[in-house]
Each structure stands twice: as structure tokens, then as C-alpha cells.
Amino acid sequence: MNAAGIEASGRPALARGVKMRFDEARQQWILNAPERVLVLDEIAHAVLSRCNGEISINELCRELALEFAAPQEIIQADVLEMMSEMLHKGYISL
């Protein structure tokens, strides 16, 4: 466990009823969830499009470190914080 209360070995998935799509009218990626729409920036899209319930947060961060050429520790800290908030708001399940 860490400060965000989430294990890096966890395998996140979008929660039931949460769907990602590209919003043509506004040219952006979004999450549709019950009564809510969340606009995704590039990083959030990169993270959430990997949340398929199969790869762990660890593995996901390793991929992001390569893709964005950034240190994995820094990415992992940010991703864990984001996952904690997304879990609390019901966008993902772990």
C-alpha cells in the first residue's frame, strides 16, 4: 500500500457503466458514466485506455514511462493518485 491507498499490483478496469469514446463534436476523449461526462486530457486518456483489468498499475506505468520518456517512479506516483480519485468517484474498479 502507499499514500494513495492503492496497490501498484492492482489491475484496474473501467467500472461497469463507464465507457470511453472520442467525442467528435468537441474533438476530445471522454468517459461516459452515469449522469456524468469526464473530459480526458492526453495523460488521462493514455492511462485509462490501458485499464482493461488485465495489466497491473506497475506494468501500465512501465509502458507510460517508455511512451512519454519520463522516470517510472514519478509517473507511478501520479498514476496512483489519479487511480485513487477515479476509484473514489466510481470511474474504475480494482
Partner 1 sequence: MSQPAPPLPAPPLALLAELTHRCPLACPYCSNPLTLERAANELTTDVWRRVLSEAAKLGVLQVHFSGGEPLIRKDLEALIAHAASCGLYTNLITSGMALSEARARALADAGLDHAQLSLQDTDAAGADLFAGSKDTLAKKTASAAMLRAAGLPLTLNAVMHRGNLHHLEAMIGMALRLGAGRLEVAHAQYYGWALRNRAALMPSRAQIDRASEIVAAARARLSGRLVIDYVPPDYYAARPKACMGGWGRRFLNVDPVGRVLPCHAATTIAELVFENVTEKPLAEIWANSAAFNRFRGAGWMPEPCRSCERKELDWGGCRCQALALTGDAAATDPACALSPQHDEMFAAAQAESAAPAPEFIYRRMDGA
Q: Is the Cβ–Cβ distance between 39 and 22 less than 8 Å?
A: no
Using CB under 8 A, pick the residue from 2, 17, 52, 70 that binds partner 1: 17
Using CB under 8 A, pick the residue from 2, 23, 53, 68 that binds partner 1: 23
> 92, 22, 9: which is closest to 51 by C-alpha?
92
Q: Is 38 in the site for partner 1 (CB under 8 A)?
A: no
- Torsion angle in degrees (nearest 10) through CA of 38, 88, 43, 60: -130
Measured CA angle at 81 (ends 45, 38), to 5 deg: 40
Using CB under 8 A, pick the residue from 12, 14, 15, 64 that binds partner 1: 15
Q: Is 30 in the site for partner 1 (CB under 8 A)?
A: yes
Q: Which amino acid is at 31?
A: L
The nearest distance, CB 2 to partner 1, in angstroms, is 15
Where does this chain bind partner 1 (CB under 8 A)? Answer: 15-17, 19, 21, 23, 25-26, 30, 32, 34-35, 37, 87-90, 94
